[in-house]
Amino acid sequence: MMTIKTSNLGFPRLGRKREWKKTIESYWSNKINADELNQQLTDLHKENLLLQKNYNLDSIPVGDFSLYDHILDTSLLFNIIPERFQGREVNNDLLFDIARGNKEHVASALIKWFNTNYHYIVPEWDHAEPKLNHNVLLERFNYAQSLNVNAHPVIVGPITFVQLSKGGNQTFEEKVETLLPLYKEVLQSLADAGAEYIQIDEPVLVTDTSEDFEDITRHAYDYFAQAGLGEKLVIQTYFERVNLKFLNSLPVKGLGLDFVHDNGYNLSQIEAGDLAKDKVLYAGIIDGRNVWAADIEAKQSLIEKLQNYTTELVIQPSSSLLHVPVSLDDETLDESIAEGLSFATEKLDELDALRRLFNDNDFAKFDELKARYERFQNQSFKNLEYDFDSVRSSRKSPFAERRKEQDAQLNLPDLPTTTIGSFPQSQEVRKQRAAWKNNRITDAEYNDFLESEIARWIKIQEDIGLDVLVHGEFERNDMVEFFGEKLQGFLVTKFGWVQSYGSRAVKPPIIYGDVKWNEPLTVKETLYAQGLTDKPVKGMLTGPVTILNWSFERVDLPREEVQNQIALAINEEVLALEDAGIKIIQVDEPALREGLPLRSEYHADYLNKAVHSFKLATSSVADATQIHTHMCYSQFGQIIHAIYDLDADVISIETSRSHGDLIQDFEDITYDLGIGLGVYDIHSPRIPTEEEITTAIDRALQQIDRSLFWVNPDCGLKTRKEDEVREALTVLVNSVDKLRKTKSTTV
Ligand code: GLN
Ligand code: ZN
């Protein structure tokens, strides 16, 4: 029997207790100096390497560790520096300034890394002068070797790097061409330093558009092969299937494929004979993006299959482990649940179990993991019964009729004004929450604090003159974690952090069992706020699609089923709010767009299911109850029909950064439901002028019926300062007042 090897693609940077974040933020706030920063990060890098070494991997990645983002590292390596930051020494300070902006210049854009919640810094080519800067990758590789770690360098490949970048007047091909000699030099330096292979990440090769890049991809890898580097290169892909015939034709040592998120297509291409026997297969068999223990027996049979088609097999996670928390060791979880989980180190242990099984005929660890897996699958928290058909998935009456009842009940003015839900999570709010979590104040004291904050903000909103008020979401840490803490079937970890961008990490809840609503989650605060004012207060909930997208989802059930379970729970909450007399309920779906599958052939199915879940959550209310939703991104083009199908009475959306584009999207469709346009950018501390707001509204009104139109900021205000919020909302309300007057004089 041939032996198998094990490897990894990338490891979480954060450290077990988010040491990475603490170090970097201490540097930003001048608590440590540049030397201390370097020292502490080197220590953490070492710890990450040695931690991985415990699992007997044949090779450990280097180049995944970074001060901020690995794409930004690559931009610096090749001197792709945004024009406004050019002329400075290339060092960590420059790196942080590009990532975060400084007093003079705005930061580079952050964009979601494929369909994950990780964000990379977009390389900017305008007037860039590509050349090779200090070779940090080589330095880190040498460092790993000095620790006696069997390492392989990781670098993002030229096709993916260029595809993810923007600006410059060169063509795609010209940019790649410019980079090739620089790549060659770096790859050569790594080969000279003793790298057995180099993992060159080309995830764009799994996307719809990969066909457009085939010629230039071939050209790039031919170029490397001519330099004698082909035998060192492994083209690594993840998150979807590849065109294996094409990849197989490239002159490289090996191919890295995802066998978890490929809908079975990578395996079927291999079975069809599309992989040459002499290519080393780097098989991503352990899910790198989720936290579930592997079905280890299924992995065993996958390996057995793959062995028939290659002479050299390396097993590894399906993607970098950047997308999962570090280790279960620090959690204090109920053992019956912990048994079903697997974070980064546990995933490496699964690989080790398989390696021992195949290479040494050692069943011990394999059998143990198998038993754990089976016990977890047979748990009682996984067998609730649902009757999805008994819950309405369309409103009782069409919008035109609902609208009459809502208008009669709400009696709102022309161009009603509102906000998106949250008000500043001030230091005081965070301090009180922490005190309550650590039992330093009682439930009653915390509740008193929340009520005083709600009351203060109801008064502020009334004074400013907004029409539909909100309670402010002070009781919530995060719009998904909050529901995760309260709904049955969800688990919230202590240290389950995952990097989102830069030093920001999120702690996605884990959906481990069937989801159930047991008691009202938001009614108390909403009712308290409503009791203080005659104006309507909006109930504020997170929708099923967003809750699912921002959680670790179950994989033992179809995604749609879990999403519908959440929808039923949210429906209960919607009804509880309605029962309590709340007349407007907003169900936020900011993550609906990001869950869109990478390949367009799956879009319709995803969107249909998303729309259905949203409607399950929101359709049971009376006609007179007004359902709002909110989304905050501007590329609506692909999903505009799905948004319309949600049949929400009012949608509020982010537009302030791209008015033109959005209005365009709305030209393609007769959008005859209520719509609130985000008239100013809440991501900036800048206070908008009346003129800007008026212009934005005027422009939109050329496209959208005035009687359907609402005015609001473009997202929640939790990250803003109190003064900024007061001022900006005052400007907003004043602008609308003037527009109302001009209307009444012209009519
Ligand atoms: N209601 C949430 C808030 O105002 C919405 C946040 C979001 O769209 N991301 O904070
Ligand atoms: Zn938003």
DSSP string, 545-603: HHHHHTSBPPSSS-HHHHHHHHHHHHHHHHHHHHHTT--EEEEE-TTTTTTS-SSGGGH
Same domain, residue pair 344 and 458: no
Q: Per-residue pLDDT for 226 more than 90?
A: yes
From the CB of 590, is ligand 1 less than 6 Å away? yes
Same domain, residue pair 17 and 78: yes
Q: Per-residue pLDDT for 737 more than 90?
A: yes
β 538-542/510-516 pair status = unpaired
How many Å apart are CA 166 and CA 163, to the nearest integer? 8
Q: Per-residue pLDDT for 656 more than 70?
A: no
Same domain, residue pair 430 and 372: no
Please spell the DSSP secondary structure of 661-721, one letter per residue.
HHHHHHHTS---SEEEEE-S-TTS-PPPPHHHHHHHHHHHHTTS-GGGEEEE-SS--TTS-
Residue nearest to atom 1 of ligand 1 (CA): 421
Mean pLDDT, rounded, for 637-650: 92
Mean pLDDT, rounded, for 546-556: 95
Q: Per-residue pLDDT for 238 more than 70?
A: yes
Mean pLDDT, rounded, for 54-68: 97
The answer to whether position 382 is within a domain reads no
Q: State residue 663's pLDDT score.
A: 63
Mean pLDDT, rounded, for 292-303: 98
Same domain, residue pair 33 and 72: yes
Q: Are 726 and 460 in contact (CB under 8 A)?
A: yes
Same domain, residue pair 207 and 311: yes
From the CB of 420, is ligand 1 less than 6 Å away? yes
Question: Measured from the CA of 540, which atom of ligand 1 is nearest?
Answer: 1
**At 564, which CATH number?**
3.20.20.210
Q: State residue 664's pLDDT score.
A: 67
From the CB of 319, is ligand 1 less than 6 Å away? no
Distance 144 CA to ligand 1 centre (A): 43
Q: State residue 747's pLDDT score.
A: 47
3-state helix, strand, coil in the chain (%, to 5): 45, 15, 40
Same domain, residue pair 458 and 353: no
Residues written for the chain:
747
From the CB of 630, is ligand 1 less than 6 Å away? yes
From the CB of 540, is ligand 1 less than 6 Å away? yes
How many Å apart are CA 524 and CA 381, to the nearest integer? 28
pLDDT band at 699 (very low <50, low <70, confident <90, very high): confident
How many Å apart are CA 307 and CA 406, to the nearest integer? 64
Residue 511, domain extent: 399-746
Same domain, residue pair 568 and 629: yes
How many Å apart are CA 546 and CA 457, to the nearest integer? 27
Q: Tokens 């909100």 belong to which residue?
A: 470
Q: Tokens 């207790």 belong to which residue?
A: 17
Q: Considering the chain, what is the average pLDDT of its residues?
A: 95
Distance 717 CA to ligand 1 centre (A): 8
Distance 522 CA to ligand 2 centre (A): 19
pLDDT band at 658 (very low <50, low <70, confident <90, very high): low
Q: State residue 637's pLDDT score.
A: 77
Mean pLDDT, rounded, for 719-729: 95
From the CB of 632, is ligand 1 less than 6 Å away? yes
Instruction: Please state at what angle helix 443-464 crosses helix 722-746, rounded to 10 degrees.
Output: 40
Q: Per-residue pLDDT for 1 more than 80?
A: no
Residue nearest to atom 6 of ligand 1 (CA): 716
Same domain, residue pair 358 and 454: no
Per residue in 348-372, pLDDT tens?
999 999 999 999 999 999 999 999 9
Q: Are 237 and 285 in contact (CB under 8 A)?
A: no
* Single residue among 377, 412, 435 that ends a domain in this structure: 377
Q: State residue 634's pLDDT score.
A: 61
Same domain, residue pair 336 and 475: no
Same domain, residue pair 403 and 358: no
Q: Which residues contribute to the annotated binding site for L-methionine?
A: 420-422, 473, 588
The answer to whether position 16 is within a domain reads yes
Pocket perturbation via mutation, ligand 1, pick of 117, 480, 715 by most ligand atoms within 8 A of CB: 715
The answer to whether position 387 is within a domain reads no
Distance 420 CA to ligand 1 centre (A): 6
The answer to whether position 73 is within a domain reads yes
Q: Per-residue pLDDT for 427 more than 60?
A: yes
Mean pLDDT, rounded, for 96-119: 91
Nearest CA-CA partner of 564 in 610, 524, 600: 610
List CB contacts of 446: < 8 A, sequence separation 6 or more: 432, 433, 435, 436
Mean pLDDT, rounded, for 158-163: 98
Angstrom CA distances, 225 to 180, 182, 203, 222, 228, stand at 12, 15, 20, 5, 5
84 versus 681: the higher-pLDDT residue is: 84
How many Å apart are CA 733 and CA 727, to the nearest integer? 10
From the CB of 422, is ligand 1 less than 6 Å away? yes
Q: Per-residue pLDDT for 146 more than 90?
A: yes
* Single residue among 330, 345, 377 that ends a domain in this structure: 377
Which of the given ranges, 345-349, 493-497, 661-665, has the highest pLDDT on average? 345-349
Q: Per-residue pLDDT for 124 more than 80?
A: yes
From the CB of 539, is ligand 1 less than 6 Å away? no
Same domain, residue pair 372 and 425: no
pLDDT band at 97 (very low <50, low <70, confident <90, very high): very high
β 119-121/110-112 pair status = antiparallel
Residue nearest to atom 8 of ligand 1 (CA): 590
Q: Point out the residues that are catalytic.
A: 683
Q: Are 626 and 676 in contact (CB under 8 A)?
A: no
Distance 543 CA to ligand 1 centre (A): 11
Question: Measured from the CA of 590, which atom of ligand 1 is nearest?
Answer: 8
Angstrom CA distances, 376 to 302, 405, 461, stand at 21, 50, 49
Into how many domains does the chain fold? 2
Mean pLDDT, rounded, for 142-165: 97
Mean pLDDT, rounded, for 289-299: 97
Residue nearest to atom 9 of ligand 1 (CA): 590
Q: Per-residue pLDDT for 725 more than 60?
A: yes
The answer to whether position 393 is within a domain reads no
The answer to whether position 392 is within a domain reads no
Q: What percentage of the chain reaches a pLDDT higher than 70?
A: 97
The answer to whether position 628 is within a domain reads yes
Please spell the DSSP secondary structure of 626-648, one letter per residue.
EEEEEE--S--GGGHHHHHHT--
From the CB of 340, is ligand 1 less than 6 Å away? no
Q: Which residues contribute to the annotated binding site?
A: 18-21, 112, 117, 420-422, 473, 550, 588, 594, 630, 632, 641, 645, 654, 715
Mean pLDDT, rounded, for 21-29: 96
* 8-state DSSP, 605: H
Residue nearest to atom 4 of ligand 1 (CA): 716
List CB contacts of 336: < 8 A, sequence separation 6 or more: 375, 376, 379
Same domain, residue pair 561 and 651: yes
Nearest CA-CA partner of 663 in 616, 690, 699: 699
Per residue in 568-614, pLDDT tens?
999 999 999 999 999 999 999 999 988 999 999 999 999 999 999 99
Distance 630 CA to ligand 2 centre (A): 6
497, amino acid identity:
W
* Single residue among 342, 377, 412 that ends a domain in this structure: 377
Pocket perturbation via mutation, ligand 1, pick of 117, 588, 650 by most ligand atoms within 8 A of CB: 588
The answer to whether position 652 is within a domain reads yes
Residue nearest to atom 3 of ligand 1 (CA): 716
